[in-house]
């Protein structure tokens, strides 16, 4: 297994029996032979997230393809929590690990295809920067903002990722998801009830493909603008660091980074976690920070900003798992 955890234990359900246990993490979560993908028990997740911190998933499932994912979710005990993980660029995995099953989509879900003059579709594991490039090359405009977001198609579909005044909801027409019970569903843009960094994607639903529509544009001009966007972000964000992107949503009429700066927190440290010197709304792991330290720093920031400005910051980063 290419991304198998050092102390994780891979189980090929069709060839290996799991020792039975009484806890959720002990017994094999689906009948033996039910799936073709990789199922790993007690799989460390730090390597899968940008912060490079946090505990293990009780189970990590990497489906072979969409049918395999359907079969897996259909066979899974309905009480077991399910969470999709993209590239972990907006995620704190808590140190106690994640209960239930984490679903990580691999290359089989990474295809991007131009489907019309202004339309394209992409698998959920495709990086959205690649979607932006492919669209630009095909003369499809309107998706250039995605060049600056380091997440996956699945991640932006759930998070309504955006920047420079554009959001995923401006370009996504619909998406295919596998529901927690294994049912296939197509959700339209309207079904997703998008708002700022939020969608109504049901808990435990896994996006497998999304379709986008832009408008005609000039490939050379789009390419040049995307190069400019990338350069600007390199200058203004700690993109080479272990970080989780924007920590807090911008409150109406305010920028979170300004509120954090005004509270005197630029560069503030808590254990191995630090408020970025470059961009105050980014927290960074300076080396060996625990997720508890990173989240603790975020809570401290919220407290100080509230005391200084009266404004309560709302987490944008998803924080998951056991403390």
- Quote the Cα angle for 70-132-37, to 5°: 25
Q: Which is nearer to ligand FAD, 216 or 267 (CB)?
A: 267
Is 197 in the active site? Answer: yes
Of the listed 89, 241, 246, 256, which one is catalytic? Answer: 246
Beta bridge partners of 246: 282
Is 13 a binding residue for ligand FAD by CB under 6 A? The answer is no
Of the candidates 38, 133, 197, 211, the residue annotated as catalytic is: 197
Closest distance of CB 251 from ligand FAD, Å? 16
Q: Is residue 89 among the annotated active site residues?
A: no
Does 63 interact with ligand FAD (rule: CB under 6 A)? no
Instruction: Tell whether residue 150 is a contact of ligand FAD (CB under 6 A).
Output: yes
* Distance of closest approach, residue 231 Cβ to ligand FAD, in angstroms: 14
Q: Is 86 in the site for ligand FAD (CB under 6 A)?
A: yes
In sign, the C-alpha dihedral spanning 85, 91, 97, 100 is negative
Nearest CA to 183 out of 149, 163, 206 is that of 206
Residue pair 259/305 in contact by the 8 Å Cβ criterion: yes
Is position 100 an interface residue for ligand FAD (rule: CB under 6 A)? no
Question: DSSP string spanning 151-190?
Answer: SBHHHHHHHT-EETTEEGGGTEEEEEEE-TTS-EEEEETT
Q: Is 259 in the site for ligand FAD (CB under 6 A)?
A: no
Q: Could you tell me the maximum CA-CA distance found in the chain, to the nearest angstrom?
A: 60
Nearest CB to ligand FAD, comparing residues 54 and 154: 154
User: Is 246 noted as a catalytic residue in this protein?
Assistant: yes
CA 176 → CA 152, 188, 201, 247, distances in Å? 15, 9, 11, 28
Candidates 135, 140, 146, 149; binder of ligand FAD (CB under 6 A) is: 149
Question: How far is the first Cα of the chain from the last one, in angstroms, to the nearest whole number?
Answer: 28
Cα(142)–Cα(155) distance, integer angstroms: 19
Query: How many residues does the structure list for the chain?
Result: 323
Site for ligand FAD in 16-55 (CB under 6 A): 50
Residue of the chain from 138, 207, 222, 265 that contacts ligand FAD (CB under 6 A):
207
Of the candidate spans 28-36, 150-158, 186-194, 257-265, the one that interacts with ligand FAD by CB under 6 A turns out to be: 150-158
- What residues line the site for ligand FAD (CB under 6 A)? 50, 83-91, 105, 124, 148-152, 154-156, 158-159, 161-163, 206-207, 237, 239, 243-246, 318
């Amino acid at each position: 297994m290419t991304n198998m955890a050092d102390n994780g234990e891979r189980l090929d359900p069709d060839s290996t029996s799991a020792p039975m246990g009484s806890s959720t993490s002990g017994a094999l979560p689906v009948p033996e032979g039910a799936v073709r993908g990789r199922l790993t028990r007690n799989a460390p997740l730090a390597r899968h997230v940008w912060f490079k911190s946090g505990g293990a998933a009780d189970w990590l499932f990497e489906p072979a393809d969409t049918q395999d994912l359907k079969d897996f979710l259909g066979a899974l005990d309905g009480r077991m929590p399910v969470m999709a993980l993209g590239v972990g660029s907006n995620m704190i995995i808590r140190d106690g690990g994640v209960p239930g099953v984490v679903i990580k989509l691999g290359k089989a879900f990474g295809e991007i295809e131009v489907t019309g003059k202004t339309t394209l579709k992409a698998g959920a594991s495709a990086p959205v920067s690649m979607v932006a490039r492919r669209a630009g090359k095909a003369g499809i405009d309107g998706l250039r903002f995605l060049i600056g977001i380091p997440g996956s198609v699945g991640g932006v579909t759930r998070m309504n990722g955006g920047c420079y005044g554009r959001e995923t909801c401006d370009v996504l027409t619909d998406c295919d998801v596998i529901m927690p019970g294994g049912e296939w569903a197509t959700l339209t843009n309207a079904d997703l009830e998008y708002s700022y960094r939020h969608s109504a994607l049901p808990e435990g639903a896994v996006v497998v493909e999304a379709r986008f529509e832009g408008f005609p544009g000039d490939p050379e001009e789009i390419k040049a603008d995307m190069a400019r966007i990338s350069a600007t972000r390199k200058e203004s964000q700690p993109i080479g660091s272990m970080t989780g992107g924007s920590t807090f949503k911008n409150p109406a009429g305010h920028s979170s980074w300004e509120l954090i700066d005004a509270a005197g927190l630029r560069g503030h440290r808590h254990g191995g976690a630090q408020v970025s010197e470059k961009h105050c709304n980014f927290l960074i792991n300076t080396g060996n920070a625990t997720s508890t330290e990173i989240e603790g720093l975020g809570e401290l920031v919220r407290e100080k900003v509230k005391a200084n400005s009266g404004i309560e910051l709302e987490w944008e980063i998803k924080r998951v798992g056991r403390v």
